[in-house]
A and B are shown apart, each in its own frame.
Chain A
Amino acid sequence: MEAIIKIKSLKKSYDDIKAVKDISLEVYEGEMFGLVGPDGAGKTTTIRILCGLLKPESGSVKIFEKDIIKNKKEIQNQIGYLSQKFSLYGDLSIDENIEFFADIHGVKDYQQRRDELLEFTRLKPFRNRIAEKLSGGMKQKLALACSLIHKPKIIFLDEPTTGVDPVSRRDFWKILSGLIKEKITIVLTTPYLDEAERCNRVALMNKGEIISLDTPNKIKQALEKEIIEIVCTKIREAYKLIRDEIGFEVQMFGDRINVIINNIEKDYPKIEKALKEHSVEILNYRKITPSLENIFIHLVRKAG
């Protein structure tokens, strides 16, 4: 596969805060690449540098083998960007918003393309409604349609589903998979690890660094350990007990805890014994396949 985006030792800081610390990665043509991490991980900064909205402090970014700083406008004509904040014109209708973006990208005869996009995003019945009066999910779909009007080769989506209801979110993801079929490369950021699982490859980011970069499956396999999920009474006590007295890594998820162990046959009895001694009742337990979330928390803890 061919790398369409090449990032080398990218750094960026705001005053004293190092937002991005020495990132290197490549994105291949036609894949869906996810930058995943909590708020403040440096995802937005990275994606904004890729679009030419921010200047990097050091390092290089090459898109289509061209430098983003030197060939900014040329590159920008072939990419689409969807910012985190809704950034369309509220007083213009759906049709007019798309028309405007077609015009500034110099797209002539955009009508057919616009109809296609409206069909694709199922916004056609609302085409004359002003953008202000659309629901959150519809706004996001419109923004996507606007960023696709000039047939970009890559689209950058900055937290496209944050603040969108679950149904619209699923809808949005369906549209994205449709785009991948059209051979469009997608780079997106998301704080949701379930969304990250849908990407071809992901870069897990934390505090401006990439802590893991691979396909979601390989990242999960890289953890050569087992995870058991335990549902029990006195969950906080159990959590502290396992962490402090037995020394296993524990992750709490509401009414259950996940414990990372080396071997279930060998290690589970230790846990069972310890919990029994402190009169914690185990209601249920099972071995689970690690999720990205488990891995992410594990990696963040390991990094300190």
Chain B
Amino acid sequence: MDLQRTKAIAKKEFKHLLRDYRMLAILILFPVFLLIIFGYAINFDVKNIKIAVYDRDHSSLSRKFINSLSGTENFDLEGYIFNDSDIKHVLDEKKAQCVIVIPDDFSENVYNNVPAKIQFLIDGVDGNTATIVQNYVNLAALNFNREITAEIFSAYGIKSSIPLELEPIFWFNPELSSTKFLLPGLIGMILVIVCVVSVSISLVREKERGTIEQINVSPIKSTELLLGKITPYVALALLNATMIIIAGYILFGIEVKGSFLLLFFSSLIFLFSAASIGIFISVISESMQVAFSLATALSLLPSVILSGFIFPIESMPWIIQVFTNITPVKFFIVILRAIILRGVGLEAFWEQVIYMLLFAIIILTLANLINIKKEKSA
């Protein structure tokens, strides 16, 4: 290893990067763009569910129930319905996502200690939202039950108590905000794309332009070349990460709870494993076009679908779970969530660091084997 030569390569590569305004603009603006898209547009929080009510009971009790729903920020009361056929209209025309039908014997049953039934018709087209609506409704019904029971019992002069009371508290993300959940994954995704695409393109460019020949006849070794080549892009990716963390704080109020130093070093290891994918791609592709397509496909898709960024890995079939290991983002997300949201130390994620290193070693070995085979047939 000669660091002078590595420095020479890195210096030249920085010049390329700074002179290619278009590429530089894309590499800097693209993360900002993604952050805005994911931060604002993709929102899994379900609030302001539109409801319509068909109240056939018209009692003070039924009104009380309705108020208990529309009083929260989860539900917005859109209006009342007065006959059966309107239920269909309201749902068809998407005027409401949920229709509540209160039967005419509702209050009578409640006071006679007979279980009263309330019908909820939920628009099930968006399954995800429907499940959340159902949960909210259940919760509302549970609360209402408790209040009414207490009221009825006290009317008989009995002090009631409920044997079991659940009080769920969500740690690390008490508001269950999806932006908070998404930000670490977003950092992982952006870094992997920037790193894989730029490293592979910059290596293949030398092949395509023939400049690699001059480097090959120089005393420079391949490790020196690769290290020099990835340095500027790793630096750029770290800049991107910093920008996202600052923007995450300003726009979404997400603070890094853990150590910045740990964050920095784990990001460095992650970028090393991402760069290894870039190197692998540069070995198997001969033109920048091929490299670009492969790099985007291999970095973007797995980091969105298989990394646990959006879809939890635990709920995937085992065979798909095996495939999730093709992206180092999977491991990095665990680390990021641990540092940013939970503020814990290395003891919580040292395994992931080892996985990332293993990942890089495997990919680089594979790239090296293919390269040797190619050289032999050349």
Contacts and interface: CB of A to CB of B under 8 A. Distances in A.
Nearest to A52: B217
Contact of A88 (B9, B19, B211, B378): B211
Interface in A44-59: 51-55
Interface string B195-225: 0000000000000011111111111110000
A101 B218 CA distance: 8
User: Which of B5, B8, B214 has the most C-beta atoms of chain A within 10 angstroms of its own C-beta?
Assistant: B214
A233 B2 CA distance: 69
Interface string A75-95: 011011101011111111000
B12 interface: yes
B288 to A, nearest CB: 14
Nearest to B18: A91
Nearest to B209: A87
B218 A76 contact: yes
B93 interface: no
Interface in B337-378: 375-376, 378
Interface string B219-234: 1110000000000000
B204 to A, nearest CB: 15
Nearest to B20: A91
Contact of A105 (B210, B211, B219): B219
A93 to B, nearest CB: 10
A249 interface: no
Given A92-B12, A103-B4, A103-B5, A54 B214 contact: no
Contacts of A86: 210
Given A92-B12, A100-B12, A83 B219 contact: no
A146 interface: yes
Contacts of B16: 89, 91-92
B8 A51 contact: no
Contact of B8 (A81, A89, A104, A146): A104
B214 A101 contact: yes
B12 A83 contact: no
Interface string B11-54: 11001100110000000000000000000000000000000000
Given A55-B376, A105-B218, A89 B12 contact: yes
A53 B9 contact: no
Contact of B217 (A79, A92, A106): A79
A51 to B, nearest CB: 5
A240 interface: no
Nearest to A77: B219
A60 B219 CA distance: 21
Contacts of B4: 103, 106
A226 interface: no
Contacts of A105: 218-219
A81 B376 contact: no
B211 A81 contact: no
Contacts of A85: 210, 213
Nearest to A80: B217
Given A83-B210, A89-B16, A104 B5 contact: yes
B16 to A, nearest CB: 6
Contacts of A55: 375-376, 378
Nearest to A143: B214
Contacts of B8: 100, 103-104
Contacts of A103: 4-5, 7-8, 11-12
A79 B214 CA distance: 11
A81 B210 contact: no
A46 to B, nearest CB: 15
Given A89-B16, A91-B20, A92-B12, A73 B213 contact: no
User: Which of A52, A74, A105 has the most C-beta atoms of chain B within 10 angstroms of its own C-beta?
Assistant: A105
Contacts of B20: 91
Interface in A99-116: 100-101, 103-106
Nearest to A150: B218
Interface in A6-45: none
Nearest to A89: B211
Contacts of A80: 217
A88 B219 contact: no
Interface in A120-164: 146-147
Nearest to A147: B214
Contacts of A104: 5, 8-9, 215, 218-220
Interface string A256-290: 00000000000000000000000000000000000
A195 interface: no
A53 B217 contact: yes
A105 B218 CA distance: 6
A10 B15 CA distance: 41
Contacts of A53: 213, 216-217
Contacts of A81: 213-214, 217
Given A100-B8, A104-B5, A104-B9, A91 B217 contact: no
A83 B207 CA distance: 13
Contacts of B2: 106
Nearest to A74: B219
Given A92-B15, A100-B12, A104-B9, A83 B378 contact: no
Contact of A73 (B12, B19, B210, B221): B221
**The 6 A-B residue pairs with the shortest CB-CB distance in the complex, in nearest-first order:** A103-B8, A87-B210, A85-B210, A81-B217, A77-B219, A83-B213
15 contacts: A52-B217, A53-B213, A53-B216, A73-B221, A83-B213, A86-B210, A87-B209, A89-B12, A92-B16, A103-B4, A103-B7, A104-B215, A104-B218, A105-B219, A106-B219
Interface of B: 2, 4-5, 7-9, 11-12, 15-16, 19-20, 209-221, 375-376, 378
Given A83-B210, A100-B11, A103-B4, 15 more contacts: A51-B217, A53-B216, A54-B378, A55-B378, A74-B219, A76-B217, A77-B218, A86-B210, A87-B213, A88-B211, A89-B211, A91-B20, A92-B16, A96-B15, A100-B8
